[in-house]
Structure formats: C-alpha cells, structure tokens
A and B are shown apart, each in its own frame.
Chain A
Amino acid sequence: MIKKTPSNPDQEVSTVSPAQRVELVGPTGQGNEKGNSSRSASFSIPRTMSKYQLDVVIVGAMIVLVLLIFAAVFWRQIAPHDPLKQHLENRLLPPMPWPGSSSAHILGTDTLGRDLLSNILYGLQMSLQIGAMAVIVAAIVGCVTGLVSGYFGGIVDILFMRFVDLRMAIPGLLIAMLIAVLWGTSLVKMMVLIAFISFTNFARVIRGETLSVCNRDFVEAAQAIGAKPFRIMLRHVLPNVASSLLIMTVLQLPSAILIEATLSFLGFGLPIEIPSLGRLVNKGYNVLIAGYWWYSIFPGLAILILVMSVNIIGDWLREYLDPRLREA
C-alpha cells in the first residue's frame, strides 16, 4: 500500500518540498541515499555553476521584497494621496508617460478619481499582512500537529492524518470560497481561513520528517534516559525539522497571498471597506474593454512582483538549506 501521497493541493504554488519528494519516492527509502550516489557521480558539473550561490536574481528578489515590505509598512507616509479620497474631476487618468496623465498620479486614477498608486500600496499592506499572519498561524498549527502525529503515532496519528486527507479531498480554493461565503469575512476570519487551507501542508511534511528523525539514535537515547515526550519533541525533533519548516513557511506565503487575491477578485474576499489588490483588479476589469487598462493591470502586477520575489527567495532557500538538492 502506498503511503497517502503528500503534495500540495493548491496548485498555484505547488512546489513539492524535498521532504515530500523523499516520501514520494516510495517505501524503499531510496530518496535518502540519493545524496551519496550523486556525490560519487559528480563528474560533469563545474563547481562554479552550483546554483545555491547568491546570484543577481536572488539578490534582486531580496531587494525587491524588502522594498515591498517597507512600502507596505510605511504606506501611509509614502502614498502620495489618501487612497479613499475621490476626485471626480480626475476620473480615469492614465499613468505617467501617456498623454493626458498627471504627475500627481504616477499610475493614474480609478473610476472615482482615486489615486491608483496609493490604493495599491494600501492593498499591498493588506495582502502582506494577511498572507504573513495566515502562514505563521498555519506553520505553528501544522508543526504541532505534525510533531504530535509523527511522534506518538497510533490513534492520534490516524485521526490527524485522516483529517488532513479529508481536507485535501477537496481543492483548497473551493473550501476557501465555501467558508468565506458561509462564515462571512473580516480581516481575522480571512487569516484563519487561509491558515486552515494551508496548515495541512505543514502537518504532512513535518509529520514525515518527524517519523524519520524519530528513528535516529539520539531520540532513542533521549527516551532511554527518561526524557519526557514534550521535551524530546521540542529539543531533539524540532531543531531537525526546523529547516523544512522555514522552507515551507516561505513557499506557502505566495499561495496564501494568491488565495486572498483570488477570493477578493471573485467577490468573496474582505469586506468592502478594506482595500484589496484582488478587488482592485476586479473593478478595473469592468472598464478594461473600454480601454482603461491600467486600473486592472497595475494592481495585478503588484501581486505578481510580490509573489515572484517570495518564490525566488523560497527556491533559493530550499536549495541552500537542503543538502540533497545542493548536490544536484
């Protein structure tokens, strides 16, 4: 019987982590030996090409991300206008180099004359805040679930993992939409909802890692000298799964941001008084055919740049922290 195969159901960012891939290889445990076999066979890769080195793209992504975070945190100081203030005489001004644009509105204005750049900054802050909080909650809950499930095994494991399977039996976006509609939305509810969608990914990976760590001698030694389970999990298992946890956290952030944006785009997102990049794109879409392209393109571009920089950093982190991949 195959282990229920772990993978990320939310396909928008489903990079399978190395930990998952080890499980995927199957019951032979061949994944663990891979590092050795490829080391003995590294005959053709020039060392300078090893891809875990910092290169221009990664440094660029880091700079972009830091700038975006800075802009999101200090949006109030940076934003040239009040994002909610309407100036009907300035409706649908085009962005800067286009004829008819105004230097006061670099990215143009929306249908009610509100400054688009200020709205994007405001929305960016919400996207990052919701994404980051949701992923942190998911990481904590998923990590605890995975540790307990993997360490104790037995009925706890079965119950937890069946629940995880059940959650994964339905695509994440559908669950998110259903909960958003039935439960209503607010800032906190949105975070909890997204955390619920993604915690199962953490639980699965951490459980798998915990299972393999628990077979190692130092855990047995700790058990032999009478250490309590809580202490073993915290002191011996957690440090060994920490790098996976970090990688997962970074790689789940993009999907959290994308789910929030997609929900908002479809009209199931945050309440109307809270700005959201997804809803900006949706509103802009209504006037797209009429030629006012900037209203929907720029907010989406902001999501794309944010998500892409996090993805680049996540990929780099995974290659850097995972020796199995570094060999390749």
Chain B
Amino acid sequence: MQRYIVRRLIQTVIVILLASMVIFAGTRLTADPMKLLLDEHATKEQEEITRQRLGLDRPIWQQYLRFVVGMTRGDFGESWVYRRPAMKLVLERLPASLQLAAGAAVLSLVLAIPFGVLSGYARASGRWPLLDKLVVTFSLLGISAPTFWVAIFAILVFAVKLHWLPTSGRGTLAHAVMPVCILSFGSLATMVRLARSGTLEVYHDDYVRTARAKGLHERQVLFRHALKNVMIPVITVSGMTLGGMLVYATVIETIFAWPGMGRLLQDSMLKLDYPVMVAYGMVVAVVFSILNLLVDVSYVFFDPRITND
C-alpha cells in the first residue's frame, strides 16, 4: 500500500510537470505578453526594461527552467494586473472556493447515495414507483440544465421574487445556500444516476439474494451488502466531479459575486494575466491529483478483491 502511494505520488509529480510544460508553452508561445503589458505609446526602452524585469529577453528554455525552479518554491511570478505574487493571490481565494466545493461535495454525496440506492431499489422491486420517477426526473434535470442558468433561475425565484435569500455576496450562511446547492446540483444528479443504475445492476446478484435469504432486513441488504459494489463507480466519478467543482465554481462565483479563486480566474483570463492563470491551473491540478489518489486508495475499502499492488 505504501509503495503504491509513493508510486502514485511520483506519477502525480510527473503529470504536474508535464502539465506545467504544456501550460508554459501555451502561455508563452501563443501571444506576446509585451503587447498586453504595454500600451501602444510605450517606447523601445520601456519595452526593453519590462522585458528584462520579467526575464522575457532570455532564451525560451531558460525561461522554462526559471519557471520550474520558481514553481518548486511556490513562486509563479507576479500578477501583471495586481503586481503581487500570483500564487499568493490564488491561495488567498482558495478557502472561499473550497468552502463552496466542500459544501457542495458533502451535500451531493449525502443525498445521492440514499436517494440513488432507494430509487434503484424502487425500480427493481416495483415498489414506490413515484419515488423512482421523481428521482429520475430530478437527476435528468440536473445533468441537462446549464449550471449558470440554474443559478440565474434560482436568483430570480428565491431572491428577486420571494426575497428569501440574498442575490449575491458572501458573509452569512444565507449567502452560501444558493451557491452551494446549485454547485452540487449537477454532481448530485450524476451520482444519483450512478447509484441508481448500480443498485439495479446488483439487485439480482447472488450475493444480494444470499443476504436476503439469510433473513436480513432489506435495509441491511441494500445499504450494507449492495451498497459496497454500487460505491465503486460512484467514488470514481465523485473524485472527478469534486475536482471539476472547483472549476465549475468559476461560473457560480461569477454569478453570485463569491470572492473565490474561480472569479479571480475569470477576471485574469479576460485581462490575460498569465501568471495568475498558471498558478490557478497548478492549484487545480494538484487538488485534482490528490482527489484521484484518494479515490484509488479508497477502492480497497469498498472492494477487497481490488488490491493496489
């Protein structure tokens, strides 16, 4: 197990290095940052000075080396817009985004598993047809509706018409209700569907029948025996989904004026603030890799036939 984790960590580092190369090449080769940094009246000397200050006058491989060396020290250069270290800017906003993503992740996992399993059970056993229909309809809406539109619709209903919740901003718990719920909507729907189809699939398997034949209560059959196999695809996708949430938070943060790093990203992208974009990409890549590692490690817990060696 330890060896496996070490090997995965090494793989992760390689992936992040490769990703950094791609991002570096993307940011340096596609456009001349000079054009963005200087206005058209800048003199040749001013351009030269800025070039030297940012190290853009050296050969490209030296720039990449500097970039990688800086990266290992957490130095991603200075934001061209804010004139502050890019990584610091991103990390300052990380807690707000993590709050959203973690809230949404917990909400979707907590709701998806019982509702998915019960709905699959309802389908397979023919009981509670209404529950199954409701869950299926809801999850279909969840995977089909554009996140940004759901957010706007929710603002219209709950803030503009009903005045129950504030339209945007961050501060009280009431501010977080809509962003968290809407961010979790899509992944909740995805996980419900997986849990449902997983339950349907294992419902007639021998081990589930055995559990039932032993006289176990249906609740135990479902949530102790069936659930373990159902969980494998659910956790696989949840790892991806939770990482994706950090990025989808961009949409939510933009709409709800939530001061997270997604909003910073959108802002810096519109202003072509490359260092911030790179720093953000690295943070997301690291979070994503850690989540994937956790997912792979947790398989063993749910299915002892899988070994990580």
Contacts and interface: CB of A to CB of B under 8 A. Distances in A.
Interface of A: 1-2, 5, 7-16, 20-21, 24-28, 34, 37-38, 41-46, 49, 51, 165-166, 168-174, 177-179, 181-183, 254, 258, 261-262, 265-268, 278, 281-282, 284-285, 288-289, 291, 293, 296-297, 300-301, 303-304, 307-308, 311-312, 324-325, 328
Contact of A26 (B18, B209, B254, B303): B303
B233 A16 contact: yes
Interface residues of B, number: 80
B247 A174 contact: yes
A179 to B, nearest CB: 8
A173 B183 CA distance: 14
Contact of B187 (A11, A177, A284): A11
A11 B236 CA distance: 12
B243 A171 contact: yes
Contact of B244 (A2, A173, A300): A173
Q: Which of A46, A165, A293, A312 has the most CB of B within 10 A?
A: A293
Contacts of A291: 160
B26 A178 contact: yes
Contacts of B112: none
A55 to B, nearest CB: 12
B186 interface: yes
Contacts of B244: 9-11, 171-173
A85 B149 CA distance: 26
Given A26-B232, A37-B206, A174-B281, A166 B250 contact: no
Interface stretch (B51-59, B80-88, B139-147, B219-227): B139-147
7 contacts: A34-B201, A170-B19, A171-B246, A262-B146, A262-B251, A285-B255, A288-B156
B5 to A, nearest CB: 12
A265 B148 contact: yes
A160 to B, nearest CB: 15
Given A2-B308, A27-B306, A178-B277, A261 B146 contact: yes
Contacts of A42: 204
Interface stretch (B60-68, B71-79, B266-274): B266-274
Interface string B252-289: 00110000000001100110100001000100110011
Nearest to B208: A41
Interface in B12-66: 15-16, 18-19, 22-23, 26-27, 30-31
